[in-house]
Amino acid sequence: MNLQLNPKRIFLGNRKRSSPVLLAVTPPRTGERTMLGVENLLQSIAVPEPFSLELAGTADGVTLLARCLDREVVRGQLAAHYPQARIQEVSVDEDPIFVHRGEQAWVMTLRASGPEYVPLRTFRDDDLLDPGSDPLIATIGALSNLKDGERVLARLLLRSLGPDWSQAHQQKAFSNPGYQRPDPSYTYQTRPLQLDGVTMAVLGVAALVALRGYLWVQQGEILKATLLGLGSALGLAVAGWGWWRWKQARNRVYDPLIIKEKVGRIAFDGGLELIAVLPEAADPMAGLTRAKEVLEPVAAAYRHYDHPAGARFKASKVRPIVPVMNLHPAGPGLFGKRSVLGVREAAALWHPPGARDETPLLERSGSRALLPSAKGVRGGALVGDTTAGRSREIHFPEDLLRRHHLYVARTRMGKS
């Protein structure tokens, strides 16, 4: 028996890597969706593989995009939740993330700061129904202030954390923010002893450092004594700053209601990536200046998602980049924390705007189409294939062939 052991196949599996697929979503001209409906859409496409929900802005307007590995799952769910929307696959040549010759790309990242169990600012279900209350209108306006030949891509990179991500934070959702359980060992009698112990330890270390410096001075090693003093002062400054940050984080109180709202739903490891593709400038500083003029208003438009009593977006500096079709969110770095976005926060950051927000910056689909049921057009005379969602054959039922009707069909060869 011949056994072929492949370590790469054992540890990484036998699944072939597939390139991400880009889908353009043209929202419908009619129909309303609440924030809960957008949540249901995102929960239905929260597959283990990462995906991105994007907004592409040019001088001509804004386009909604979805980049994923499994096109059938995302396209099917979009067609099910938005049956009147037009969903088309974007070719590689028309992908706005690719940088052509004579262009240069710049990037700025936005990550949620603060504890992962507190949310960004969320909105009511009716905020998508009232004209002018959609939080995405400000972002669409910032993405449209561009010149010819410029484009900006706002990418919401998401990776599902699974249903058990909030198990460690469930207790915080039911705690009383004004009450702190006392430590049994921390009483009125033991408090002076604990403070005196810490004080004596600090004084002991300071005495040892002073003694060591004094001995070096007596031995004529002034340089060592000076370096010891500077190092001690620097250490005290760093320790004081760390203690102050620890006290600030410990004393901040979060409302259990907003914690409960976030930990009660699924969440994603996610962040925003703002990419500006501009004509290449002869002067690098001029290109950086123009990139800041383009990206900073977009980052400012996302500031109204900051929660005064919760999480806030933390922006990075603008830097040049070579864009790649990476769907994984950026890592937290060496000392950072992961950026966790709840499904309701993600729904507020990306969704097809409602029909009442008649913004001219966003293209919408044509007139309302009456979609027949799949069962009713399964048998009979073949007419053609559907263009919305997954392609399937359309037949005229047999009972229609026995009636007098006038049908007008649009084909590539005229009207018939």
Same domain, 264 and 153: yes
202 found inside a domain = yes
Is the distance from CB of 112 to CB of 120 less than 8 angstroms? yes
Same domain, 328 and 200: no
DSSP state of 30: S
Q: CATH code at 67? A: 3.40.462
Same domain, 279 and 226: no
Residue 84 neighbours by CB distance under 10 Å: 20
Is the distance from CB of 361 to CB of 140 less than 8 angstroms? yes
Neighbouring residues of 325: CB distance < 8 A, sequence distance ≥ 6: 19, 20, 67, 97
367 found inside a domain = no
- Domain boundary among the residues 325, 349, 373 is at 349
Same domain, 263 and 400: no
The C-alpha atoms of residue 124 and residue 136 are separated, in whole angstroms, by 13
Q: For residue 385, what pLDDT is reported?
A: 72
- For the chain, the domain total comes to 3
Same domain, 267 and 241: no
The C-alpha atoms of residue 68 and residue 74 are separated, in whole angstroms, by 7
How do strand 86-89 and strand 51-58 relate by DSSP bridges? unpaired
CA distances to 162, 202, 222, 238, 297 from 226, rounded to whole Å, are 55, 20, 6, 18, 49
Q: Which residue's entry shows tokens 């169990």?
A: 117
Phi, then psi, of 344 in degrees rounded to 5: -70, -35
Q: Which residue's entry shows tokens 């923010």?
A: 177
DSSP state of 94: G
Phi, then psi, of 223 in degrees rounded to 5: -65, -45
179 found inside a domain = no
Same domain, 196 and 274: no
What domain range is 165 assigned to?
17-169+259-349
Is the distance from CB of 330 to CB of 167 less than 8 angstroms? no
Structure tokens at 385: 């294939």
Specify burial of residue 3 (Cβ count, 10 A radius: 0-12, 13-18, 19+). Answer: exposed
Is the distance from CB of 228 to CB of 206 less than 8 angstroms? no
Q: Integer distance in angstroms from the first to the last C-alpha of the chain?
A: 65
Q: For residue 28, what pLDDT is reported?
A: 81
Same domain, 402 and 342: no
Same domain, 29 and 117: yes
Name the pTM for this structure. 0.74
149 found inside a domain = yes
183 found inside a domain = no
Same domain, 137 and 268: yes
Q: For residue 249, what pLDDT is reported?
A: 56
374 found inside a domain = no
Same domain, 104 and 245: no
Which has the closest alpha carbon to 346: 260, 274, 275, 267?
Answer: 267
Q: For residue 367, what pLDDT is reported?
A: 60
362 found inside a domain = no
Same domain, 335 and 215: no
Q: What is the pLDDT along the chain (416 residues), one digit of tens a residue?
A: 444 545 545 444 444 556 888 999 988 877 677 788 888 888 888 777 899 999 999 988 899 999 988 777 888 888 888 877 888 889 988 999 999 999 999 999 999 988 889 999 888 777 777 777 788 888 998 998 899 999 999 999 999 998 889 888 888 877 665 544 555 554 545 455 445 566 777 777 777 878 777 788 777 788 877 887 888 788 778 877 666 665 555 556 778 888 888 998 899 999 999 999 999 988 889 999 999 999 999 999 999 899 988 899 999 999 999 887 788 888 777 767 889 999 999 999 998 887 777 777 787 776 666 566 666 666 677 777 766 556 677 777 776 666 777 766 666 555 54
Which has the closest alpha carbon to 346: 87, 49, 112?
Answer: 112
Q: In 3-state terms, what secondary structure has residue 274?
A: strand
- Domain boundary among the residues 251, 285, 302 is at 251
Q: For residue 408, what pLDDT is reported?
A: 67
Specify burial of residue 137 (Cβ count, 10 A radius: 0-12, 13-18, 19+). Answer: middle
Same domain, 236 and 385: no
Q: What is the 3-state secondary structure (H, E, C) of 300-365?
A: HHHHHHCCCCCCEEEECCCEEECCCCCCCCCCCCCCCCCCEEEHHHHHHHCCCCCCCCCCCCECCC
The radius of gyration of the chain from alpha carbons, rounded to an integer in Å, stands at: 29
Residue 108 neighbours by CB distance under 10 Å: 22
Which has the closest alpha carbon to 333: 107, 161, 111?
Answer: 111
- CA angle 160/162/164 to nearest 5° reads 145
- Domain boundary among the residues 251, 267, 299 is at 251
Q: For residue 252, what pLDDT is reported?
A: 67
8 found inside a domain = no
